[in-house]
Structure 1
Amino acid sequence: MIQVHVDEKEIKKLYQDAIEKRLNELDQEKVFWDSSDLKRRTSMSWNTIQDTFFHDKRFPKVKVGSKWFYPAKEAEAFLIQWMEERR
């Protein structure tokens, strides 16, 4: 007779890792971020974003109607450079 033992914690971790990987892949497909995406990605409040880098002329942004949009790849590159400048 064959017995199989399953480590439920390991299965849960594998499942969570697979979901996180897929969510990251979907995030990478975005062309633009909105302000909610920007706040989530920087872990900053809207006031902190405005006080720190929002008004930097190098920060890529476009206002469409009353809503701000940020080209995803360019905004990410700017944020990495901006953070490096603060080290």
Structure 2
Amino acid sequence: MLNISLDENELKKLALEEVRKRVEEIEEDMFLIDTKELCKLLSLSRPTVEKLFIYNPDFPSMRVGKKWVFNRQEVKEYITRWSIDVRKKGGNVDID
């Protein structure tokens, strides 16, 4: 005879982790993101994102009507290059 016991809390934890992974996969599939999603992706406030990136002509952004949109992959590539450059210059970013 086979006896199986389940820890309900551990099962909930595993299920939530799988849901979180799936949500991340869905988000990764989004081709364009808006300013709110960009701020979330970068873990920065909107004013900081505006100062550092949105109004920078080199940043991969597009204006569609009144809304800014960004290609997720291009943003990731830009941020990778930008962060390498920042670290080469001492690792501090002045946003004043």
**2:36 match: secondary structure:** helix
Please give the TM-score of this superposition, normalised by the length of structure 2.
Answer: 0.78
> How far did 1:62 drift?
0.7
Which one-letter code corresponds to 1:66 in the other structure? K
User: Residue 77 of structure 1: CA displacement?
Assistant: 1.3
Percent sequence identity is: 29
The residue that corresponds to 2:16 in the other structure is 16
Deviations 1:17-51 (A, max 9, x none): 11011101111111100111101111111111122
How large is the RMSD of aligned CA atoms in angstroms? 1.6
Structure 1: give runs of 5+ residues left out of the alignment: none
Residue 4 of structure 1 aligns with an amino acid whose one-letter code is: I
Q: How many residues align?
A: 87
TM-score under structure 1 normalisation? 0.85
2:53 is aligned to: 53
Deviations for 1:29-85, whole angstroms, at most 9, x for unmatched residues?
A: 111001111011111111111222223332111101100010111012112222222
User: Is 1:86 matched with 2:86?
Assistant: yes
* C-alpha displacement of 1:3: 4.0
